[in-house]
A and B are shown apart, each in its own frame.
Chain A
């Protein structure tokens, strides 16, 4: 009796900039959005899934992340594994500039990858820690839509919180 080669099922994803990625089923199932889609459409597994909200740069990073975390999870839990996961996550975030971080958050949100999203949200929170309101606005590319009076009233409510922030030098 010959052992048939185990074929890992692959799913094809097409990004917003028209790149196609073939990923192992296990990885695609980490994206809850896709998992739900397949649960509801079991015979759609041969089709290419369009991801109009995700760029190839983002998807590539996300696939990397999910692959690594799947590998970590396959090993026995221990404090040294936890340490490695922490280091991996730190490195994953450290290299990204603010724009990439934001793109990744939106992509992780769209694809519904909870662990990645939580990790990225924490990273963003760390980057705006002790920064001024103006810095946070620039970070997210937001306009101040308050009138000067409204802004003054908001600051007056908790005057103490608006002082002593890091100088905005970036």
Chain B
């Protein structure tokens, strides 16, 4: 029965296209012929979270393009990203497909590298502990107040590099105009937040030492401290309300990440160890990740219970908003692994040497594999800033 599929009712076409869960499949589907292209919307809104790409450090040869490594096809994708390619930029987060970019100005830019959509968050100068900002006070542009009341100054570069540890978004700004941004402040370990449209940032009072990691879970902000203690922040109304989940102290571990995995809350603990890094003329003592431990929160306790296997799930941690995905939805990746990037070397060493501490940790046998885009002597190996997981998102 010869059927003219160009005459297919649009709803049928759309229904098939909505069953395509990988963005690239959707794009190719739409490129099949004219009538299909006009029947199927350009921007899909049904896609589940995609497998993150690894955004590699800028290279000399591609000035305005940035390379992204795609685990599924094992290829580098080059996207035009002039906003991020300038060496005076720093990323302090990657959330729902958006990059959070700082530079030597108070501006905080949100940018979706695929859709090129942009937004601004309230600038650095509007944090409650910033008393004043003045471009003409060269070298001391920012005047800040510490929690104890003392005053100090910071210059443009210092504010860019060490004021903010990480910014996390509650949702994709394109999909939810009422999104919230949460910032973890480095030195003081405070949490600050702002909603779309706010003119300034506000502190979440009482959330202060919970500054290892922050995620959104069930519409609320969860933050974790060094020992696995959790504060839940509800910032939906004018005054944030907080409550605590006190668990027995988790001892050991150098960094904690909080991950929302289906209906479970996971604590991913990173253990570092000192290692020699051999460079051609000198060797450095650097920190390297030795292993990860994963625990799940037993709400009825509450306490953290060690997880021996993530089964099909994979966890992506680093400077990005921690996330977990099912490996079986995608190709080129494995379940029961932690895909990690380096989110500490830059501030620890303040400079550019040594290999990045990135790789794939396999919970099954405790082995560590290099991330496939980093062959032994590749150029990117030494580039800074360090690679970052970015979720490709059409909007």
Contact = CB atoms under 8 A, between A and B. Distances in A.
A9 interface: no
A161 B30 CA distance: 11
A164 interface: yes
B25 A143 contact: no
A145 interface: yes
A105 interface: yes
A163 B73 contact: yes
Contacts of B70: 160, 164
A102 B17 CA distance: 15
18 contacts: A102-B3, A103-B1, A109-B12, A117-B12, A121-B18, A122-B19, A126-B19, A129-B22, A130-B24, A130-B331, A133-B32, A136-B32, A140-B5, A145-B34, A160-B68, A161-B27, A161-B28, A164-B74
A106 B20 contact: no
Contacts of B73: 163-164
A55 interface: yes
Given A118-B15, A121-B15, A121-B19, A143 B75 contact: no
A144 interface: yes
A133 B28 contact: yes
A99 to B, nearest CB: 9
B33 A158 contact: no
Nearest to A118: B15
Given A105-B12, A106-B3, A137 B25 contact: no
A129 B330 CA distance: 11
Interface string B23-49: 111011101111011000000000000
A136 B36 CA distance: 12
Interface of A: 55, 102-103, 105-106, 109, 117-118, 121-122, 124-126, 128-133, 136-137, 140-146, 151, 154-155, 158, 160-165
A140 to B, nearest CB: 4
Q: What secondary structure prevails in chain B residues at the interface with A?
A: mixed
Interface string B1-16: 1110110010010011
A146 B37 CA distance: 11
B15 A154 contact: no
A147 B77 CA distance: 26
Contacts of B27: 158, 161-162
A55 B33 contact: no
A144 B35 CA distance: 11
